[in-house]
Amino acid sequence: MTQRQLFVDVNQEGDGVVVVTCRGEIDLSTVQQFRSAMASAMTVQPGLLRVDLKRVGFIDSGGLACLVDAADACRRRHTVMQVLPSVNVRRLFELTGVDIVIGGVMTPRERGVAFTEPDALDQYAETLTEAAVLAHKHHPTDEMPSPTR
């Protein structure tokens, strides 16, 4: 069994904005790291807490609970929480209803993602491919779509 990795950065961007950027997977082995980063971000009492999960491939119930806890803390402190999920994470939010509970979940269009940039397009195609593989596992009789540009 391989150890899952999570890379987390917490940065202050002027005007009371704190950004927590994650890359990897948030699961049992990494959730404490995520929880610590979220707690650290709240210590400066930001006006806006942005949680960038665009490069997170998976988040388990512990990670979802951490986001719900952070959303509650933000409401108590009158802090706006904005979450930018990957396609996979967004799907989990929708399946579990967490997107409704935490609020502030942005779509790619709301984020202003420009798919004309090669990196953004490649990342989007990769995420769609991963989603197609997951869908195919659940519906193996369906023909698996191939990503196209």
Residue spans of the domains in the chain: they are 6-111, 114-149
Structure tokens at 17: 């904005």
The pLDDT of 104-125, averaged and rounded, is 53
pLDDT digits (tens, 9 = 90+) for 45-77: 999 999 999 999 999 999 999 999 999 999 999
Rounded to the nearest integer, the mean pLDDT of the chain is: 79
Query: What class, spelled out in words, does domain 6-111 have in CATH?
Result: alpha beta
Unique residue bearing structure tokens 């950065």? 9
Q: Is a pLDDT exceeding 50 seen at residue 145?
A: no
Q: Is a pLDDT exceeding 70 seen at residue 115?
A: no
Q: Is a pLDDT exceeding 60 seen at residue 24?
A: yes
